[in-house]
Amino acid sequence: MQTSVAIIGGGLAGLHAARLLHAANIDFLLFEARDRLGGRIFSVDETGSVSADGFDLGPSWFWPQMQPTIGALVAELELPAFVQASDGDVVFERMSREPPQRYQGYRQEPQSMRLTGGTNALVRALTAELPENCIFLSRKVTAAALGADGVTLTVSNSTGGQESVQAGHVIFALPPRLLEATVSFSPPVSTAMASRWRQTATWMAPHAKFFALYDRPFWRQEGLSGTAQSMVGPLVEIHDATTATGSAALFGFLGVGADERQSIGEDLLTHACVQQLGRLFGEKALQPRATLFKDWAADPATATKADRTGGAHPSPDRRPWVDGAWQPFISLAGSETSQTDPGYLSGAVDAAARTVSAIIGSRRDAANRR
């Protein structure tokens, strides 16, 4: 296979880059290691299957006032959104030997927004604008070799076979740390560049989310917002995860480290989380109709061994992510590389737009020199 631009990663950054290239009439091929598009965006039903009215196991919130880049894309795609439910009292669990305390809630500013149907609504809208024959799922890029006219990629498929892809330019729309750990380069990238990629923490990769689904949001009728904080655990931060259509749920971030989660196991963690929700929200919380659990640190398409411990939130950094001989031929466009909102949904949009703009500018300059 041959293409002007190869995009590695079918998350928000990769899909937005594909959309912008397609609009500019630049041919591309997109390769995604998973059997689905979306990357860390993962909106599912109660069985864990991707859904058009799903619960967000990955990122859920965006703030259009603080992050106009994502706000503009949501508006352009005409995606309906709604405010994160936060009306009512909050619950705070300080220690195991005393009951949780209830406090008056407060209005959140700026308000967190959620997309109707889950964050996967972005994935569906972007994918709908792309030619199907340009997207390849279950394709893992394992190597990149630099030649005189571009890059040769080695791509593994789900059956264990390999194929080569020739590309004039490659956009790596995945976390820098994951790129450094999973793709070999010939010639090798510079020591400084590899070190920087490796030291850039993949945002939210060490974390796990737990959801308890109910027939109705009973906590609202009892004057509770669904928001809780705990110093006891296993959940440390809990919120109302009810969908725009009224499918009721509570979700929380686990405060248990990745290695300890692996040792305890999902079944015991699920039981402990449900028991905690019962302490915080009463007996009705002890009877969820379903539960969901997603440990991102155990997802090889997201995290490396280095991501099993928490890392600092990536900071905007205007230094080039690529140097040396590779600089004209590859770009990094994962959310962590954003110059405005690294790690966030908005960062993925920004990084993709910045990368495609540079490619278009480079092609224009080359045409003018002819």
Give the C-alpha separation, 266 to 54, whole Å: 21
Answer for the pair 33, 11: CB distance below 8 angstroms, yes or no: no
pLDDT digits (tens, 9 = 90+) for 293-310: 999 999 999 999 999 887
CATH topology of domain 42-118+206-301: Polyamine Oxidase; Chain A, domain 2 (3.90.660)
Give the C-alpha separation, 147 to 130, whole Å: 29
Compute the average pLDDT of residues 332-341. 95
Could you tell me how far CA 359 lies from the centroid of its own chain?
A: 24
pLDDT digits (tens, 9 = 90+) for 183-193: 999 999 999 99
> Environment class of residue 273 by beta-carbon count within 10 Å: exposed (0-12), middle (13-18) or buried (19+)?
buried
Q: Helix 345-369 and helix 68-76: axis angle, to 10°?
A: 80
Give the per-residue pLDDT at 134. Answer: 95
pLDDT digits (tens, 9 = 90+) for 98-133: 899 999 887 777 889 999 999 999 999 999 999 999
Taken as a whole, the chain contains a residue count of: 370
Give the per-residue pLDDT at 370. Answer: 67
Q: What is the DSSP string of 167-195?
A: EEEEEE-S-HHHHHHH-EEESPPPHHHHH
Give the per-residue pLDDT at 326. Answer: 95
Give the per-residue pLDDT at 158. Answer: 83
Which stretch of 1-15, 148-162, 274-288, 337-351 has the lowest confidence by average pLDDT? 148-162
Given pLDDT bands bounded at 50, 70 and 90, which one contains residue 369? confident
Give the per-residue pLDDT at 33. Answer: 96
Give the per-residue pLDDT at 366. Answer: 75
SS3 assignment for 61-94: CECCCCCHHHHHHHHHCCCCEEECCCCCEEEEEC
For residue 174, the tally of other CB atoms under 10 A from its CB is 30
Render the burial of 123-146: b for 16+ CB within 10 Å, e for the rest: bbbbbeebeeeebbeebbbebbeb
Q: Tell me the sheet residues that pair with 368.
A: none
Given pLDDT bands bounded at 50, 70 and 90, which one contains residue 212? very high
**β strands within the chain, DSSP E:** 2-8, 28-31, 43-44, 55-56, 81-83, 89-93, 101-103, 113-115, 135-136, 140-146, 151-156, 162-172, 184-186, 208-214, 224-230, 235-240, 248-254, 290-295, 330-332
Give the C-alpha separation, 304 to 199, whole Å: 12
Q: Tell me the sheet residues that pair with 248.
A: 214
Instruction: From the options 3.40.50.2000, 2.60.40.420, 3.40.605.10, 3.50.50.60, give the CATH code of 1-40+119-201+312-370.
Output: 3.50.50.60
Per-domain residue ranges of the chain: 1-40+119-201+312-370, 42-118+206-301
* pLDDT surpassing 80 at residue 367: no
Determine phi and psi for 36, rounding to 5 degrees. -145, 160
Compute the average pLDDT of residues 19-33. 96
* pLDDT surpassing 90 at residue 253: yes
* pLDDT surpassing 90 at residue 75: yes
Give the C-alpha separation, 11 to 135, whole Å: 12
How far CA 88 is from CA of 21, 85, 227, 238, 341, in Å, comes to 45, 9, 9, 14, 30
Give the C-alpha separation, 85 to 71, whole Å: 19
Determine phi and psi for 47, rounding to 5 degrees. -90, -5
Answer for the pair 9, 174: CB distance below 8 angstroms, yes or no: yes
Average predicted confidence (pLDDT) for the chain: 94
Answer for the pair 22, 131: CB distance below 8 angstroms, yes or no: yes
Give the C-alpha separation, 309 to 135, whole Å: 33
Compute the average pLDDT of residues 40-66. 94
Compute the average pLDDT of residues 203-223. 96
Give the per-residue pLDDT at 362. Answer: 84
Q: Which residues fall within 8 angstroms of residue 78, CB to CB, at 6 or more apart? A: none
Cα 307-203-360 angle, rounded to 5 deg: 120
Q: DSSP character for 26?
A: -
Give the per-residue pLDDT at 317. Answer: 83
Determine phi and psi for 329, rounding to 5 degrees. -115, -20
Given pLDDT bands bounded at 50, 70 and 90, which one contains residue 368? confident
